[in-house]
Structure 1
Amino acid sequence: MFSISLVLTLICLCEVQTSLGHHPDLKNVAYSKKVTLSSRYHRVHYPGWNAVNGVLSDFAHSGHERSPWLRIDLGRNFRIHEIEVFARSDCCTHQLHDVDVKVGKRTHRMRLCGHITGYTRTGGRMAVWCPNHTVGRYVQIQIVKGVSNYLSPAEVVVWGKPVHGGF
């Protein structure tokens, strides 16, 4: 039983790390990077790094608040092509809706890459394609509608490539 679980986990990890649908230059530049949540649900459970660990069966979880967000520090600037946000596969589609996706070189100067309106399905995928020449070190997803929400994505994948030269 353990070996079957290990194989399935490795298959999921490979699927999130490389995709046949993307240009070969693009990589998931968010994998294993530092993640900050606007708040934490029950302090010790569901940490932010669950959203960038390549495993779709766990998730990050914010506390209940107005406009919760999750921010990924990519460590350096990348040219960002697409950002995918995967919903939890167990429940709670109401915890991923009406999301702004922002990219920036600094946390206080982020630009809107795209907006996703409405809800996704359980285990669903939301995607934003960034405008050409979008460069940044930080990627943030934030629920922007509603009085108070939880944010609990299973995974955030940032497709990008290193920046070379004067970008």
Structure 2
Amino acid sequence: KSSMLILGYLFSLLENIAIKGKAVQSSTFYFQANDAIDNFDPTCTHTKNEMNPWWRLDLVYLQVIREVIITNRVDCCFEQINGAEIRIGNSLENNGNNNPVCAVISGIPAGKSVSYSCGGMQGRYVNVVITGDSKQLSLCEVKCIVPND
């Protein structure tokens, strides 16, 4: 019982601020950028087939980001996330895709979530980008975990 209280206390010290942000993406193929921050895993974003597709979350204010949690698609196309970079920073140069790298996503199993530690990186913008020709980007949920004030 005491271990559950401690665990509950630790979770109360953290907050997912992604749901308070605003999302945009490089293009839209049926599914909107905000689908990745609606706190509902079955809805997913999807870009068109293009060069260097990206998704960006504007957190409105500078944040200290402890971790980013990405949830992948379950229905199809789960390999589209492979090789994507999570970038965090304050610049909108190159649509925010020049900000420092938090992590590179080697792969996420279909329908699963993976947490990437960002070690307290600071930034207003969180990007997920795949570099290269003829790529599509699809995300089902993005959570940005910060210390709860």
Partner SS for 1:76: strand
Query: Greater relative contact order: 1 or 2 (C-alpha under 8 angstroms, separation 6 or more)?
Result: 2
Tell me if 1:158 matches 2:144: yes
Aligned position for 1:135: 122
Aligned position for 2:59: 74
Whichever residue aligns with residue 94 of structure 1, its letter is: E
Tell me if 1:35 matches 2:23: yes
- Number of corresponding residues: 139
Partner SS for 2:36: helix
Work out whether residues 56 and 128 of structure 2, in 8 Å CA contact, stay in contact via their aligned partners in 1: yes
Label 1:20 to 1:72 Cα distance change in 2 as closer, same or farther (>3 A). Answer: farther
Aligned position for 2:105: 116
Shift of 1:33: 1.9
Deviations 1:20-53 (A, max 9, x none): 6964322111114211101111xxx211000000
Runs of 4 or more off by more than 4 Å in structure 1?
Answer: 19-23
Structure 1 unaligned segments of length 5 or more: list them. Answer: 1-18
Q: Aligned-pair RMSD on alpha carbons?
A: 2.2
Work out whether residues 21 and 59 of structure 2, in 8 Å CA contact, stay in contact via their aligned partners in 1: yes
Deviations 1:7-31 (A, max 9, x none): xxxxxxxxxxxx9696432211111
Separation (CA, whole Å) in 1 of partners of 2:18 and 2:10: 15
Separation (CA, whole Å) in 2 of partners of 1:113 and 1:94: 20
Label 1:78 to 1:100 Cα distance change in 2 as closer, same or farther (>3 A). Answer: same
Structure 2 unaligned segments of length 5 or more: list them. Answer: 1-6
| TM superposition score normalised by structure 1 | 0.75
